[in-house]
């Protein structure tokens, strides 16, 4: 079956760095997406990886290893507004997104 | 309109009633999707449409139907609502012509079935 695993909840301190991991097993692979979702709001796109390696976008970076079925989202210089859920999703062979349950990130001052 | 809109924002519905959730996008995206989001679970695909005039079933289609008469609108209908359909429903769209691309989400509809 298809499966996306990510931690349920993480806590970090304002100004610090946090890494949110995602492992996946899917039928086919057409890329991995990270989305941010604030409580009560819609998910918004953060990053897309289809090749192995690190993609950097400001304070956020995303890494992919296709051979290991593994990705992580790295958030630097954490701000209180980064408190949100972070969703990992894999696009399968049918070009449909398979979603993880999300990681709730709590930022403490 | 800018992006995707959904209506209503929230709704309380008696079991057995029929309900249509509306979704409209103005980005001229070919592909549209309906998801439900439940606590502790990932977004689950209900139905999708790759282009106007076509629809397909997702992971959890039972009890739901959709139509795609034009590019902009993608309504989701619950023919006879049941309490297990209590959820937050998100509509999304993407520019499928360009291969794997990000999906843009509407603000969601919070539905409670009693």
Nearest to A100 by CA among A42, A33, A51: A33
A99/B44 CB distance under 8 A: yes
Checking if the pLDDT of B78 tops 80, the result is yes
Express each pLDDT in A48-106 by its tens digit.
Answer: 999 999 999 999 999 999 999 999 999 999 999 999 999 999 998 888 899 999 999 99
Kindly give the pairing relationship between strand B64-66 and strand B44-49.
unpaired
User: For residues A53-91, b (16+ Cβ closer than 10 Å) or e, as one string?
Assistant: eeeeeeebbbbbeeeebebbbebeebeeebbbbbbbbbb
Enter the DSSP assignment of B102: P
3-state secondary structure of A57: strand
Residue B106 is nearest to which of A42, A50, A89, comparing CB atoms? A42
Among A4, A30, A33, beta carbon nearest to B42: A4
Instruction: Name the residue in chain B with its Cα closest to that of A4.
Output: B42
- Report the phi/psi class of residue A77: left, alpha or beta, with left for phi > 0 and alpha for psi in -120 to 50: left
pLDDT per position as a tens digit, B84-112: 999 999 999 998 766 678 999 999 999 99
Residue A94: CB partners within 8 Å, gap ≥ 6? Answer: A28
């Amino acid at each position: 079956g298809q499966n996306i695993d990510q931690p349920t909840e993480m806590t970090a301190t304002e100004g610090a760095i946090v890494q949110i991991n995602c492992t996946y097993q899917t039928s086919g692979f057409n890329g991995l997406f990270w989305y941010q979702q604030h409580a009560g709001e819609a998910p918004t796109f953060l990053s897309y990886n289809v090749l192995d390696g690190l993609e950097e976008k400001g304070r956020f970076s995303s890494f992919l290893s296709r051979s290991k079925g593994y990705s992580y989202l790295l958030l630097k210089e954490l701000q209180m507004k980064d408190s949100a859920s972070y969703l990992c999703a894999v696009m399968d062979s049918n070009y449909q997104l398979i979603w993880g349950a999300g990681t709730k990130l709590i930022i403490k001052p | 309109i800018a992006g995707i809109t959904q209506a209503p924002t929230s709704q309380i519905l008696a079991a057995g009633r029929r309900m249509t959730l509306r979704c409209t996008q103005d980005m001229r995206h070919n592909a549209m999707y309906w998801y439900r989001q439940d606590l502790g679970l990932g977004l689950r695909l209900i139905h999708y449409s790759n282009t106007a005039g076509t629809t397909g079933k997702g992971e959890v289609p039972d009890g739901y139907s959709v139509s795609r008469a034009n590019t902009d609108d993608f309504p989701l209908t619950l023919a006879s609502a049941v309490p297990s359909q209590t959820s937050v429903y998100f509509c999304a769209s993407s520019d499928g012509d360009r291969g794997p691309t990000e999906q843009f989400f509407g603000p969601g509809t919070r539905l409670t079935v009693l």
